[in-house]
Structure 1
Amino acid sequence: MRSKSYFFLLLVVAMGLIAGFVYTQFPYKYGLDVKGGIRFVYQMDTTKLTPEQRADLPRVRSLVQSILVNRATGSFGVAEPVITPKGDDQFVIELPGFTDMKEAREIIGTSARIEFYHATNVRSRGNTTAPYEERDARSETGEPGVEFVKANDPAGKPIRPGDPEYLTVIRGWKMILSGDDLRDATPQPAGSGYQPLMTFNPKGAQKMEEWSRRNQNTGALIATVLDNKVLSMAALNDNTVLSDNAVITGEFSTAYVRKLTDLLKQGALPVDLIPLSEGVVDPTIGTQALDQMVKAGIISFAVIVLFLLAYYALPGFVALIGLGLYVLFTLTVLKLIGATFSLAAIAGFILSVGMAVDANILVFERFKEEMKAGRSLVAGLELGFKRALSAIIDSNACTILTSLVLVAIGTGPVKGFATTLIIGVLISFFTAVTVTRSLLIFLVSSGIASNPKLYAVERNWFGEKFEKTANEKPLRILRKSKLWFAISLLTIVVGLPFVFSGGLKGNVEFRGGYETELAMTGSNKTQAQIEADLD
């Protein structure tokens, strides 16, 4: 027993040190309501939809919203993006903690429709009389691009993306396949960097094979186009038949390749998005309010500390060590997975702290009962943890099941709250059952805390009257079940009129409404003065 307790103690210490080190290596990611972020408003360009898509516009809007959520969580790593439909064809997109407006615009606003063309009007080995020539137009950041010049233009004026003639050049090509024919996109090592590898579905592979066989040994140019911008152009190698995959050739930065393949994996938007507005969002709470929340949490924790020490003595002190490790483990895990600390997530974390304390109290109360029945310290601790385990598992399982439903169907802050709560509950179960138990068993078996008085077994401040007379005068709950059912029914009947008279008043997220934006320029007023003016 003693050697086993020493082993668990060393394991707990090692885990605490590792978690402490990892905790210091990752910063917090705060939510839009705490630290602000970026906000976009986009409108779907419904003019290019087919009649079938227009007739099923709600499905198209739902698909667009799902893809936007995937982009925000995948490309940016934002744990709690807020993607809110507005009206019939608009979306409000909020990215908490994100500051790079240009990158966000490029990823959110793109349709991510990739297309492969046969560039028939660009000169190649087998097409020397074509009217245009290609030029590499890679950006300073390493992003690929192609521009054109007219073959008979002595000045060599470049035709760049965004120029009307640039689209004219692309519209003169023959499409080989489109993004609907794409099955997967992955980064492929190439020299010192990576290249995007496109894998096609069977239909796309058949199209590519047929084209490459028709144009074999002609040096025909394949152009890769994303959102009306040519990424690369490459000649079909002699005696080569392409089919189920193709590589976008060139030298690309690793970051660009990963961003591109992530976008393609998340799917192409079925409709173009028109930007209506964009801007940086100031936090609705701010640093001052966050400091107040932290202060309130510290005060609450101090109250819990006083109660555990006063009522449970040594077990309460051990529970505090376990609770401190729980906080460290949970925050470390949340940082590792890139969780966003919004109001809802912080609420979930605080709730899980309460459940961690609750698990310890269940164990300590069972331990007291075993000690009053004449058990030794070691036997009382073992039986206390063993007999409280089922109640702890039941309560945690119910919480996790409910939270899993919120994760599955919730979005934004709701999913953040549920995710934080699940992680917190799982870690609290480990610290309450394993860490606290190992420390108490170690203290008893090592002889450091073998005095029963240290465990405040006789300290009963709540319900001791009922406990002492429980065997002689038990509470006859089931015998008077009709009375308790009647009281419950009466409570419901009295409360129902208030529900229907006032109702459950949903906010703008449930009922919709109007949105007003106010901007101030050149004002030196304080926050208090501004609030007074608004009132």
Structure 2
Amino acid sequence: MKSKVKSTIVFFLCIILIGFLAYSGAYGVTLGGYELKPLGQVINKGLDLQGGVSVLEEVQGNNVDQKTIDRTVELLSLRVNKLGVSETVVAREGQKRIRIDIPGKFDAKEVIDGVAKTGELKFVGPDNKTILTGKDVKDATASIDSQNGNKPTISLELNSEGAKKFSDATQKFLGQKIAIYLDNEMLTNPQVDAHITDGRASISGGNQTLQEAQRQADLIKSGALPVTVKPVQVKTVGASLGANALPLSILAGKIGIGLVMLFMLLYYRLPGLIADIALTLYVYIVLVAFANVNVTLTLAGIAAFLLTVGMAVDANILIFERTKEELKSGRSIKASIDAGFRRAMSSILDSNITSIISGFVLYNIGTGSVKGFALTLIIGVVLSMFTAITVTRTLMKLVANIGWFNHIKTIGTFGVHDFRKGVVK
């Protein structure tokens, strides 16, 4: 009796917790001044869900090493961040191509001209002559200078050739200003206070914040691209198309998940209800994972997510069918549940591991939306195993301890009825 009461309390606490998580994920909640935003607001959305510009750039030249291409990707990312657009994607595709996805921007020419052009970083003296270029800059970082009133400072490190040029310039223009330009935009215009011979300089002063100093340091470091890139594919998704795609995708997801839950409830009754509760928690956990690992959700990603929902339910079906076989052999409810999970485990692991392997292959050789599909699939499959093996099993044992599996109306086609005794074996 004590065990039954304890199981009842724990079961309903689990239901309340899962219900709270589902509600907070769908609508958001505010607790003690801390706000939990709806997951729909915090998950990154791809171009096909909100519109924007996608540009596929190709590195020109035949003898470009991989280190140079990786550096180009890094510099393009810095330039994309300069646009102030969130949820941008700069990723390498194949050997010599780089995809730039910028949601919320609809002027493809502006994106190409402002991000993917070769660009020019230059240090210009008061005589309007160029002293250094981006090729002379080795590194640039921002920090707080405790010896200068805790003001943000940009530290520059030049290569050997740049150090020689800068030494001559700082000696010539001591007490004057040397401006730093990127693509004809002045970044900063500091005054030369010392003759610098070691190629290490610092820029301080002004009212800029550390964040602004870091932005300038990133732009100085990005400098000119080490190679020429040329757009080979430009795609613009209109805002209206993206706005229509998102609600339709959400509706399709609700219908799909709803039909799956209805089938489980009608066919398996109480075990089906438990599977639906576990599925609700699964949906919440997956969406939280998407938000925390910065997955950019696309239409292909939504398709992969719905596919993993079906796989999560499939694991429950395997467990229930194995449990049913144990019930037919005359075992008790609790023994059948344990044996059902144990016997279904190999099938669940086999099917899910093969799906994960397929996901890794697609992620490594795929491009664009294929990568998004693969990443969503991998995350979903891993978490579906967790909910099926852990959550469903825990809830099933709690319900068995309460005694709700002892009536044929709660089990339906799930169990085997012994009409002579009037109980489920």
The question of 1:37 aligning with 2:56 is answered no
Residue in structure 2 matched with residue 95 of structure 1 by the alignment: 102
Q: Which 5+ residue runs of structure 2 have no aligned equivalent?
A: 29-35, 417-425
Say whether the 8 Å CA contact 2:53–2:108 is kept in structure 1: yes
- Is the helix fraction higher in 1 or 2? 2
Q: Percent identity?
A: 31
Q: How does 1:21-60 map to 2 (within 5 A)?
A: 21=28, 22-24=36-38, 27=41, 29-38=44-53, 56=63
Among candidates 72, 78, 83, match of residue 87 of structure 2: 78
| Alpha-carbon RMSD | 4.9
CA gap of 1:245–1:31, structure 2 versus 1, over 3 A, is same
CA gap of 1:71–1:26, structure 2 versus 1, over 3 A, is farther
Residue in structure 1 matched with residue 419 of structure 2 by the alignment: none
Partner SS, residue 38 of structure 2: helix
Equivalent residue pairs, number: 397
CA distance in 2, matches of 1:250, 1:102: 34
How far apart are residue 36 of structure 1 and its match?
1.9
Say whether the 8 Å CA contact 2:131–2:165 is kept in structure 1: no
**Which deviations, in whole Å up to 9, do the C-alpha atoms of 1:70-104 show, x marking residues without a partner?**
4588664436569899xxx9998552344698995
Which range is displaced more, 340-349 or 231-240?
A: 231-240
Say whether the 8 Å CA contact 2:123–2:178 is kept in structure 1: yes
Among candidates 284, 287, 298, match of residue 328 of structure 1: 284
CA distance in 2, matches of 1:72, 1:398: 39
The question of 1:443 aligning with 2:403 is answered no
Partner SS, residue 234 of structure 1: coil
Residue in structure 2 matched with residue 368 of structure 1 by the alignment: 324
How far apart are residue 308 of structure 1 and its match?
1.1
Say whether the 8 Å CA contact 2:49–2:299 is kept in structure 1: yes
How far apart are residue 364 of structure 1 and its match?
1.2
Residue in structure 2 matched with residue 306 of structure 1 by the alignment: 262
CA distance in 2, matches of 1:248, 1:111: 28
Q: Which residue identity lines up with residue 185 of structure 1 in the other structure?
A: T
> Structure 1 length as normaliser, TM-score?
0.58
CA gap of 1:236–1:12, structure 2 versus 1, over 3 A, is farther
Q: Which residue identity lines up with residue 78 of structure 1 in the other structure?
A: E
Which range is displaced more, 230-239 or 419-428?
A: 230-239
Q: Which residue identity lines up with residue 20 of structure 2 in the other structure?
A: L
Say whether the 8 Å CA contact 1:39–1:93 is kept in structure 2: yes
The question of 1:270 aligning with 2:226 is answered yes
Q: How does 1:381-400 map to 2 (within 5 A)?
A: 381-400=337-356
Q: Which 5+ residue runs of structure 1 have no aligned equivalent?
A: 47-53, 123-131, 133-168, 461-535
CA gap of 1:322–1:68, structure 2 versus 1, over 3 A, is farther
Say whether the 8 Å CA contact 1:186–1:197 is kept in structure 2: yes
Residue in structure 1 matched with residue 300 of structure 2 by the alignment: 344
How far apart are residue 310 of structure 1 and its match?
2.6
Q: Which residue identity lines up with residue 35 of structure 1 in the other structure?
A: Q
Residue in structure 2 matched with residue 356 of structure 1 by the alignment: 312
Say whether the 8 Å CA contact 1:196–1:261 is kept in structure 2: no
Partner SS, residue 235 of structure 1: coil
Which range is displaced more, 374-383 or 230-239?
A: 230-239
Q: How does 1:496-511 map to 2 (within 5 A)?
A: none
Query: Considering only CA atoms, is the larger Rg found in Structure 1 or Structure 2?
Result: 1
Q: How does 1:83-482 map to 2 (within 5 A)?
A: 94-98=101-105, 108-109=115-116, 111=118, 114-116=121-123, 119=125, 122=126, 169=128, 172-175=129-132, 178-179=134-135, 181-183=137-139, 185-186=141-142, 188=144, 195=152, 197-198=154-155, 200=157, 203=159, 207=163, 211=167, 215=171, 218-219=174-175, 221-237=177-193, 244=200, 246-247=202-203, 249-252=205-208, 256-261=212-217, 268-271=224-227, 281-282=237-238, 285-288=241-244, 290-451=246-407, 454-456=410-412
How far apart are residue 315 of structure 1 and its match?
0.8
CA gap of 1:234–1:300, structure 2 versus 1, over 3 A, is closer
CA gap of 1:225–1:214, structure 2 versus 1, over 3 A, is closer
CA distance in 1, matches of 2:137, 2:70: 18
Which range is displaced more, 445-454 or 93-102?
A: 93-102
> Structure 2 length as normaliser, TM-score?
0.71
Say whether the 8 Å CA contact 2:282–2:384 is kept in structure 1: yes
**Which deviations, in whole Å up to 9, do the C-alpha atoms of 1:121-151 show, x marking residues without a partner?**
x2xxxxxxxxx6xxxxxxxxxxxxxxxxxxx
